[in-house]
Amino acid sequence: MTDIERWLSEHLLSPVEVDCATTVMLKIIDGKCKMAQQEKVVMAALYDAVKSLNHSLLQPEVHTLIATARDSADEAVKLLVYEQRLLAETMISRPVMKRFKARIRQQGLLDDV
């Protein structure tokens, strides 16, 4: 069991928190995430662990886009990621995203980073 899987077994994410993790992944790919590099690695692993879980706001196609973007330097794909990131950020309020980030920090997900 990985550290992420262990953390998730003790700290279940709500559907909107799955959306938050997905949005952070979009921000990482788009180059707009302000987290430290090692925190980005942890957040990408968290996204990978939760992407198949129930979500509430984002469309399932976002996962296909993320998978494509991770393996592509294509400008058209980058533009789609940018657009999807903006859409996700408008769908998830700042207070919800801030609570999600505070929770994962408070509950130790980023402790060893």
Enumerate the domain spans of the chain: 3-106
What's residue 102's pLDDT? 96
> What is the pTM assigned to this prediction?
0.94
pLDDT of residue 72: 87
CA distances 28 to 20, 22, 34, 69, 103, Å, are: 12, 10, 8, 11, 19
Residues 6 or more apart whose Cβ sits within 8 Å of residue 88: 19, 22, 23, 26, 57, 58, 62
pLDDT tens, position by position, 94-106? 999 999 999 999 9
Give me the pLDDT at residue 73, please: 82
Query: How do residues 11-41 score in pLDDT, each as one tens digit?
Result: 999 999 999 999 999 999 999 999 999 999 9
pLDDT digits (tens, 9 = 90+) for 41-90: 999 999 999 999 999 999 999 999 999 999 888 999 999 999 999 999 99
The whole-number pLDDT of residue 1 equals 84
Alpha-carbon dihedral angle through residues 6, 9, 11, 16, given to the nearest 10 degrees: 110
Residue 113 confidence (pLDDT) above 90: no
